[in-house]
Amino acid sequence: MDEEQFRHWSKQAAEWGVDYRNGLRDKPVRAQTAPGEIAAQIAATPPETGEAMETVFADFEKIVVPGMTHWQHPRFFAYFPANAAPASVVAEYLVSAMAAQCMLWQTSPAATELETRMVDWLRQALGLPENFSGVIQDSASTATLAAVLVMREKALAWRGNAEGLSGQAKLRIYASDQVHTSIDRAIWIAGIGEANLVRIPTSGPERAMDIAALETAIAKDRAAGLLPAGIIACVGGTSTGACDDIAATVAVARKENLYLHVDAAWAGSAMICPEFRALWAGVEGADSIVFNPHKWLGAQFDCSVQFIRDPEALVRTLAIRPEYLKTQGRDGIVNYSEWSVPLGRRFRALKLWFLLRCHGLEDLRRRIRNHVDWARLVCERLRTEQDFEIVTEPFLSLFSFRHRSAAEPDAHNLALLKRINDDGRIYLTQTRVDGAVAIRFQAGQFDMEKEDAEAAIRVILELARSNRS
C-alpha cells in the first residue's frame, strides 16, 4: 500500500467508523447469524497475489459487519459494557499508526511516563490514597494472575519461581463462591490447583463472603499444615453484583498476614462517584486492586488498571533481566514489562489521556449516575408488573429478574431470553441465582439515553406477553 492509498483508506476507515456509530440504534444488537455462516463466505486458502483494497473493504462491509454483535449499541444490556468513547477510539488510531512496543522505558519513554501519570490520575479519581502506584494490564484476568503469583512467591519466601511447587507446602487461596472464573484460571496457571482455591460461602443480599467462615477456613488449613497465601475479594461480581465486606476482609488479611487482592473489574469505574465508595469502604487496606476502564469508564478495550501497594513484590515476582533488556545508565526509570506477565506491551495510556481530558471526570460521573438511575427505573417498572419478579436487587446498574409462568421456570425464561435476543432491539444475558435461571439487566453503554431504558421495558413486556412458551 503506497502513501496515497494509506491516506485514502485511513480517511475511509475513520469515516466508516463515524457512520457506523451513528447508525447503531437501527441495527439488531446481537448478531443474527447462524454458526458457520460467516466462515462460509471467507476463502479457505490465503491469496497468492494481492487484491485491491476496494475489494477487501467491500467484503469487510458485506461479510464481517453483519456478523458483529454491536457492543457500542445504546441498547446493549448484556454482560458488562465494553465502552469505547470516540475520544479513546481516536487515540487508538494514533497508537495503531505509531505501533510502538512499550515494554521498557527506552522503547517509548512517553508511553511509560504517560502510563505512570494516567494510573495516578485514576488513583485520584477513585479516591485511593497516595501510597498506591500501578500498571495498565491487558485484562483483569492478567492482573489477577499477577496478584496470585505474588501471593505464591511471598508465601514461599520467593522459592516458587526458582524451585517449582513440587515438594513445597500446599498453598491455599480464599475467595467467595461468587468470584469471576478468571480467579480459577489464575489459580490453575499459577500451579496452585483448583482444589486449593477455598470457596467461602456468601450470605445476605450483598452475597458477601462470610467472614467467620473465612477465619475458620484459614485456621483449619494452618492446623492441617497447609500454607494460606492470599485472599481475593470481589466488589461487583459478574453474575449479580456480589460485594464482599472489604473492611472486614482487610482486617482478616492483616491479622493473618495474607495478601489481599480486590477484583472490581466492572464496579471500579463507579468509584469516580464519591457516593458509591461506601461499597468498597476499607479498600485502601488491600495489597492490589484491579478495575477495567475498558468496561464502564469509556476507554477502548483493552485497558485494565492494577493498583498496587508494594510494586517491589510484584517486580521481584515477575522481572527477568536478560542482557538485551537491560537499560544502561538511567536511574529511577520504570520498565513496566517487569510489572506484567507479557513482555510486549501496547501503548494503552494514550486513550485514557484522551478520554479523561476530552470528557473530564464530571461528564463521566454523570454518565455512570444515569446508568445507575436508569437500571433502577427498569427494575422498579418490572417490579410493578404482576407477572415479573425481581430476583436480585440493583447493585449499581445491575439487577436480575424473572418472568413468572405456569411452565417450568428455567425453560420459560431461557425461551423468553432467546425471543428477546432474536428480536434484536435489545440484548440481555442470563445467569443462575441459587441454581435457578434469572435474566440479567445492566445499563452502562456510554451513549445510552433514558429512552433506551424505556425501550427495554417496552420490549421485555411485549415479548414476555406475546407468543407465550
* Residue 269 binds ligand PLP, judged by CB under 6 A: no
Residue 252, φ and ψ in degrees, nearest 5: -65, -45
Which one of 133, 178, 238, 240 is in contact with ligand PLP (CB under 6 A)? 238
- As given in the structure block, the three cell numbers for residue 4 are 496515497
CB of 336 to ligand PLP, least distance (A): 17
Segment lying near ligand PLP (by CB under 6 A), choices 111-119, 235-243, 371-379, 393-401: 235-243
Burial 32-42 (b: 16+ CB within 10 A, else e): eeeeeeeeeee
Place of cell 490453575: 188
Residues ≥6 apart with Cβ < 8 Å to 151: 171, 173, 229, 230, 258, 259, 261
Count of CB atoms situated within 10 Å of the CB of 63: 15
CB of 266 to ligand PLP, least distance (A): 4
Which one of 304, 335, 430, 445 is in contact with ligand PLP (CB under 6 A)? 304
Which one of 27, 74, 75, 80 is in contact with ligand PLP (CB under 6 A)? 80
Segment lying near ligand PLP (by CB under 6 A), choices 21-29, 128-136, 198-206, 234-242: 234-242
CB of 393 to ligand PLP, least distance (A): 18
Nearer to ligand PLP, 259 or 266 (CB): 266
CB of 283 to ligand PLP, least distance (A): 14
CB of 141 to ligand PLP, least distance (A): 3
CB of 151 to ligand PLP, least distance (A): 17
**How many residues form the binding site for ligand PLP (CB under 6 A)?**
15
Q: How far apart are CA 247 and CA 244, in angstroms?
A: 9
Residues 120-179 close enough to bind ligand PLP by CB under 6 A:
139-141
* Residue 265 binds ligand PLP, judged by CB under 6 A: yes
Nearer to ligand PLP, 72 or 238 (CB): 238
Bridge pairing between strands 133-137 and 227-234: unpaired
- Supply angle C-alpha 424, 430, 435, rounded to 5: 160
Extract long-range pairs of 428-436: CB within 8 Å, 24+ residues apart: 428/77, 428/78, 429/78, 429/79, 431/239, 431/240, 431/400, 432/239, 433/239, 433/240, 433/391, 433/392, 433/400, 436/391, 436/402, 436/409, 436/410
- As given in the structure block, the three cell numbers for residue 349 are 495510556
For residues 353 and 261, the answer to whether their CB atoms sit within 8 Å is: no
CB of 115 to ligand PLP, least distance (A): 17
Bridge pairing between strands 197-200 and 171-176: parallel
Nearer to ligand PLP, 290 or 464 (CB): 290
How far from 414 is each of 135, 379, 392, 406, 422, CA to CA, in Å? 40, 19, 17, 14, 12
CB of 295 to ligand PLP, least distance (A): 6
Residues 174-203 close enough to bind ligand PLP by CB under 6 A:
180, 182
CB of 182 to ligand PLP, least distance (A): 5
Nearer to ligand PLP, 182 or 445 (CB): 182
Nearer to ligand PLP, 260 or 265 (CB): 265
Nearer to ligand PLP, 183 or 437 (CB): 183
Place of cell 436487587: 393
Nearer to ligand PLP, 138 or 221 (CB): 138
Written as one string, the DSSP assignment of 435-459 is TEEEEEEE---TT--HHHHHHHHHH
Q: How far apart are CA 165 and CA 162, in angstroms?
A: 9
* Residue 445 binds ligand PLP, judged by CB under 6 A: no
Residues of the shown chain interacting with ligand PLP in the complex, contacts defined by CB under 6 A: 80, 139-141, 180, 182, 234, 236-238, 263, 265-266, 292, 304
